[in-house]
Amino acid sequence: MTDGAYYTKQYPDLFSEIGISHELIKKKIDETFNTMFFDPEDKLYFEMGKDMGYIMDTGNNDARTEGMSYGMMMAVQMDRKDIFDRLWLFSKTYMQHTKGKYQGYFAWSVATDGTKNYDGPAPDGEEYFAMALFFASSRWGDGIPPFDYSAQAREILRHCLHQAEIVKGGKAMWDNSNYYIKFVPEAAYSDPSYHLPHFYELFALKADEQDRPFWKKAAEESRKYLHMSCNKDTGMAPEYAKFDGTPKLLFRDYEFYSDAYRVAMNIGLDAAWFNKDNSLGETVDKLQAFFSENTKLGEYKAYTITGKPFDEPAMHPVAIIATNAAGSLAAKGKYRHQWVKDFWELPLRKGERRYYDNCLYFFSLLMLAGKYRIYI
* Full residue range of the structural domain in which residue 236 is found: 1-42+232-376
Report if residue 278 sits inside a domain.
yes
Query: Residues of the chain whose pLDDT is less than 70?
Result: 1
d(CA 372, CA 5) in angstroms, rounded, equals: 10
58: left (phi over 0), alpha (psi -120 to 50) or beta: alpha
Note if 82 is an active site residue. Answer: no
Give pLDDT, residue 2: 72
Report if residue 292 sits inside a domain.
yes
The model's pTM is: 0.98
Report if residue 79 sits inside a domain.
no
Report if residue 337 sits inside a domain.
yes
Report if residue 151 sits inside a domain.
no
26-82 pLDDT, tens digit each: 999 999 999 999 999 999 999 999 999 999 999 999 999 999 999 999 999 999 999
d(CA 40, CA 227) in angstroms, rounded, equals: 42
319-338 pLDDT, tens digit each: 999 999 999 999 999 999 99
Assign residue 295 the CATH number of its domain. 1.50.10.10
Q: Give the contacts of 48 (CB within 8 A, at least 6 positions apart).
A: 54, 86, 90, 112, 114
Exactly one of 66, 124, 126, 221 is catalytic; name it.
Answer: 66
170-191 pLDDT, tens digit each: 999 999 999 999 999 999 999 9
d(CA 57, CA 51) in angstroms, rounded, equals: 20
Report if residue 113 sits inside a domain.
no
Note if 66 is an active site residue. Answer: yes
Report if residue 343 sits inside a domain.
yes
Exactly one of 57, 124, 221, 259 is catalytic; name it.
Answer: 259
Instruction: Report the chain's C-alpha Rg in angstroms.
Output: 19
CB atoms within 10 A of CB 145: 9
Per DSSP, helices labelled H in the chain are 5-8, 14-17, 22-38, 65-77, 81-90, 123-140, 149-166, 197-206, 212-229, 262-273, 280-294, 317-326, 336-344, 354-368
Report if residue 307 sits inside a domain.
yes
Residue type, 76: V
pLDDT more than 70, % of the chain:
100
d(CA 370, CA 373) in angstroms, rounded, equals: 7
Number of domains the chain contains? 1
Helix (H, G, I), strand (E, B), or coil: what is residue 150? helix
Instruction: Find out whether 280 and 228 touch, Cβ atoms under 8 Å.
Output: no
* DSSP symbols for 17-71: HTT--HHHHHHHHHHHHHHHHH-TTT--EEEETTTEEEE-BTTTTBEEHHHHHHH
